[in-house]
Amino acid sequence: MFHNTITFIIVLGILVFIHELGHFIFAKLAGIRVERFSLGFPPRLVGKKIGDTDYCISWLPLGGYVKMSGMIDESLEGTLTGAPWEFMSKSLPKRFMAIFAGPAFNYLLAVLLFGWVAWSEGMRTPTHSYITEVRANGPAEKAGFLAGDIILGIAGNDVANVVAVVDLFYSNANNELPVQILRGEEKLTISVTPQLDPQSRAGRIGIGIGQKYSFQPVSFTLAMVSGFYETITITKLLGKSIGEMIWGNESVKESIAGPIGIAKMVGQAAHAGFDVLLRFMAFLSLQLAILNLLPIPALDGGHIVFIIFEGIMKRPPKMKTRMVVQQIGMVFLLCLMVFIIINDLLR
């Protein structure tokens, strides 16, 4: 557990540093004074002030922040004097980039990490899906599936990619499906009827699914292109998952992991190998980018909403309104964090 925690803190620290570095660089390019660059949340642990900026490490290692002059953010601190180096004194495009750069740097990091893994281990091509576990009393167990069975096809459909397997089962609740499998040297056809999950409205048969790949060496450039396309693909899947949770078709309790759950997964990824850990880092970086762009007050997406509002209305929202909205956003995020941590502990 200690090893998992240390690995998690290192991974999170890298992701947060890249995120805040994006804010920092584009704030500096815009001529905005940066008062503090912190890894972790207050209270301040150690640091050094260089020029106008206090570079520090704080006690709570679950995030970080860049404090820009003249920006009323989630800390609800700061004053507006109209000085030319303040956030609110800059043009809308410059303010937008200073905020958007954080998620953008996380997105770019995901592309680079996926690309690096593709270059180091070779281009991955799915070869087959296989069953990693069969859950007790589920349709799969009753039908006779076993862990280790290789899935060759479902109702005549090619299922080399695990996503195809999931989609076929999800979309065929209460419909009998013939599944072709390879068990050892023997080819079998087993029929199974996915059971409708009333919460997600999807068909499930009670199995875990793994993916096997073949690998071919590729150039660095082609690997980075592959990393870009893999990032786009996972972005679509994450967007779909967020949409399902918003509309109540997917359980928030089952879908969201907090610091404890993520620390455990980071430890498992590290144990599986360095390339696996890098891929998981890329996935987390992508999640961090997408979640920060959600239009929730106190997140980057909330700040972007204020900037868009100002661009449309030709005036910034009233400071009192902005602070109230920020406070509501902070209360929401704190409640969500408490819920996630309790859910982690109950798991």
Asked which of 172, 201, 216 is the last residue of a domain, the reply is: 216
Identify whether 199 is part of a domain. yes
Among the options 20, 86, 121, 250, which is catalytic? 20
Q: Are residues 106 and 10 in the same domain?
A: yes
- Domain's final residue, options 187, 216, 245: 216
Report the alpha-carbon distance of residue 103 to residue 32 in Å, rounded: 19
Torsion angle of alpha carbons 32, 35, 36, 37, nearest 10°? 20
202, 112: one domain: no
Helix, strand, or coil (residue 164)? helix
Same domain, 110 and 157: no
Residues 130 and 208 in one domain: yes
Question: The whole model's pTM is what?
Answer: 0.78
Q: Do 110 and 6 have their domain in common? A: yes
Show the tokens assigned to 338. Answer: 């408490």
Measured at the CA of 75, the angle between CA 239 and CA 292, to 5 degrees, comes to 10
The average pLDDT across 166-187 equals 92
Chain centre to alpha carbon of residue 268 = 17
**Same-domain status, 204 and 299:** no
Res 147: pLDDT? 93
* Rounded distance between C-alpha atoms, residue 207 and residue 307, angstroms: 46
Higher pLDDT, 318 or 199: 318
Axis-axis angle for helices 259-272, 274-292 (nearest 10): 150
Annotated catalytic residue 20: yes
Residue 138 sits in the same domain as residue 92: no
User: For residue 191, what are the β-bridge partners?
Assistant: 178
Q: Is 247 inside any structural domain?
A: no
Across residues 41-61, what is the average pLDDT? 91
pLDDT band for position 75 (50/70/90)?
Answer: low
Asked if residue 50 lies in contact with residue 61, where contact means CB atoms within 8 angstroms, the answer is: no
CA-CA-CA-CA dihedral for 313, 25, 298, 255, to nearest 10: 120
Q: How many residues does the chain have?
A: 347
Please report whether residue 29 resides in a domain. yes
Contact (Cβ atoms closer than 8 angstroms) between residue 15 and residue 39:
no
Q: Taking all residues of the chain, what is their mean pLDDT, rounded to a whole number?
A: 88
Q: Which of 169, 198, 216 is the last residue of a domain?
A: 216
Q: What percent of the chain has pLDDT over 90?
A: 52
What is the reported pLDDT for 249?
A: 67
Amino acid 149: pLDDT: 95
Strand partners, 57: 39, 46
* Inside any domain, residue 97: yes
Nearest to 33 by CA among 72, 70, 80, 65: 70
Q: Which residue range is the domain that position 183 belongs to?
A: 124-216
Residue 169 in any domain: the answer is: yes
**Do 162 and 170 form a contact (C-beta atoms < 8 A)?**
no
Based on the fold, state whether residues 103 and 9 are members of the same structural domain. Answer: yes
Instruction: Please give the Cα distance from 296 to 9 (Å, whole number).
Output: 25
Q: What is the structure's pLDDT at 283?
A: 93
* Structural domains of the chain, count: 2
Whether residue 242 is contained in a domain is answered as no
Most confident stretch, 188-192, 234-238, 254-258: 188-192
Contact 79, 25 (CB under 8 A): no
Say if residue 133 is in the same domain as residue 36.
Answer: no
Tokens read off for 333:
């995020």
What does the alpha-carbon distance between residue 18 and residue 68 come to, in Å, rounded to a whole number? Answer: 17
> DSSP character for 318?
P
Q: Which one has a higher pLDDT value, 183 or 4?
A: 183
Q: CATH number of the domain at 164, please.
A: 2.30.42.10
- Provide the pLDDT for residue 74: 54
The two three-digit tokens of residue 35, written as one number: 């008062």
45-51: average pLDDT: 93
Q: Do 207 and 176 share a domain, yes or no?
A: yes
Helix (DSSP H) and strand (DSSP E) numbers for the chain: 10, 10
In terms of pLDDT, which residue wins out, 95 or 61?
A: 95
73, 132: one domain: no
pLDDT in tens, 238-274: 888 888 777 766 666 666 776 777 778 788 888 878 8
Tens of pLDDT along 97-129? 999 999 999 999 999 999 999 999 888 888 999
Please indicate, yes or no, whether residues 109 and 7 belong to a single structural domain of this protein: yes
pLDDT per position as a tens digit, 295-326: 888 889 989 999 999 999 988 888 778 778 87
| Each residue's pLDDT tens digit, 14-28 | 999 999 999 999 999
Residue type, 43: P
Question: What pLDDT, on a 0 to 100 scale, did the predictor assign at position 347?
Answer: 65
